[in-house]
Amino acid sequence: MSAPGSAPGSASQGLARRSRWRVAEIIFWLLAFAAVFLPPGKHLLLNEVAILALFALSLDLILGYAGIISLGHAAFFGTGAYAAGLLCKLVTPDPLVGMAAAVVAAAFMGFVTSFLVLRGTDLTRLMVTLGVALVLHEVANALPQWTGGADGLQGMAVGPLLGHFDFDLYGRTAYAYSLTTLFVLFLLARRIVYSPFGLSLMAIRRNTLRASALGVPVNRRLVAVYTLAAAYAGAAGALLAQTTAYVSLEVLEFQRSADVLLALIIGGAGWLYGGVAGAILFKFLHDTLSSSSPQFWMFWMGLFLVVLALVGRERLGGGVRGLLARARR
């Protein structure tokens, strides 16, 4: 935030200052890439973390920056997953082509449905996004000749990445692929968020009426960011489909939309690393807690949410982000 009464041009200076790379960030990404060379064993889990992180990043773009509550973000995840899966099965096994197709398909779906979330209150948006995901779930369920229905889309033979790297059983290639995709898309999101476009999104979230009074084309910005977030979610879906060589109806289920919301909330919305941090915590907690019993996990997750909501996300400073800020002080 710039001081009141500062000279014109300070907004762009402020953006430049905020977008500067910090040492901790660089270390984090170096560590993440170094994990590719760990001995095999944890790569499958790490792959899931990277996919969830990308998915949460996508939700953060609309929830944390533009303030659109979505309970149906799995719609775009699933669209991407099925697009990548079908392309692999019917056209070409090349994963990068599949990824491109998934992104385009999900972005298209996001563009079309974005007009539905422009109007109405939080509650209306909640229901409409939920409804869109449910409709897609029903459609996928009703077209077993395409999607495999409840059995899932089987028989995907994903080709080697870049013609060289086969997807192995231990998930090393898978993790490297997912992490690279996450990193590239993260860089893009970072660029977007710290641009005037990103600032205008935050203005819309804070106060839609004032933003439009300032000349921000609210609806066009919302359509743009919703489409972008859908494309991101589609990329995450494609990653899941390609690295597991399987797509089931689960990619469109409510549980997936809820999980990604939880992951983002744990990490802290409106912060690019919120999705990444949340995904790491969420997956490792899930892995630890649900190994004894799935109900156990559900109970603690629920308790965490209730406490978080009661105490206030602001006071806790949005989960991890607050902890980091407190540690720095």
Partner 1 sequence: MATILFDGVAYGMLLFVLACGLAVTLGLMNFVNLAHGAFAMAGGYVTVLLMDRAGWPFLACLPAAFLVAAAIGLVLERTLYRHMYGRSHLDQVLFSIGLVFMAVAITDFLMGSSQRNIRLPEWLQGRREILGVNVGIYRSFLIVLCGALAVGLQAGLLRTRFGSRLRAAVDDARVARGLGIPVSLVFATTFAVGSGLAGLGGALGVELLGLDPYFPLKFMIYFLIVVTVGGTSGIMGPFVASMLLGVADVAGKYYLSSALGGFVIYVVLIIVLVLRPNGLFARAR
Task: List interacting residues with partner 1 (CB under 8 A).
Answer: 63, 69, 71, 116, 119-124, 126-128, 130-132, 134-135, 138-139, 141-142, 254, 258, 261-262, 265, 295-296, 298-299, 301-306, 308-310, 312-313
- Dist. CA 252–CA 237, nearest whole Å: 10
For the four alpha carbons of 86, 92, 93 and 96, in that order, the dihedral sign comes to: negative
- Which residue lies nearer to partner 1 by CB, 142 or 169? 142
Q: Which helix (H) or strand (E) is 269 found in, with range?
A: none
CB of 135 to partner 1, least distance (A): 5
Which phi and psi (to 5°) does residue 87 adopt?
-60, -40
- Which residue lies nearer to partner 1 by CB, 23 or 121? 121
Helix, coil or strand: residue 1: coil
Q: Measuring CA to CA, which residue among 183, 203, 174 is closest to residue 43?
A: 174
CB of 299 to partner 1, least distance (A): 4
Cβ contacts of 102 within 8 Å, gap of 6 or more: 79, 80, 81, 83, 84, 87, 234, 235, 237, 238, 241
- Which residue lies nearer to partner 1 by CB, 185 or 264? 264
- Dist. CA 206–CA 201, nearest whole Å: 9
CB of 119 to partner 1, least distance (A): 5
- Dist. CA 198–CA 204, nearest whole Å: 10
CB of 314 to partner 1, least distance (A): 9
CB of 228 to partner 1, least distance (A): 21
CB of 294 to partner 1, least distance (A): 8
Q: How far is CA 161 from CA 47, 93, 173, in A?
A: 15, 10, 8
**Residue entry with tokens 């973000």:** 73
- Which residue lies nearer to partner 1 by CB, 186 or 282? 282
CB of 267 to partner 1, least distance (A): 13
Q: How far is CA 233 from CA 32, 39, 83, 199, 270, in A?
A: 21, 30, 12, 22, 17
Q: Measuring CA to CA, which residue among 256, 225, 227, 321 is closest to residue 48?
A: 256
- Which residue lies nearer to partner 1 by CB, 76 or 175? 76
- Which residue lies nearer to partner 1 by CB, 284 or 299? 299
- Which residue lies nearer to partner 1 by CB, 291 or 295? 295
CB of 64 to partner 1, least distance (A): 10
- Which residue lies nearer to partner 1 by CB, 162 or 306? 306
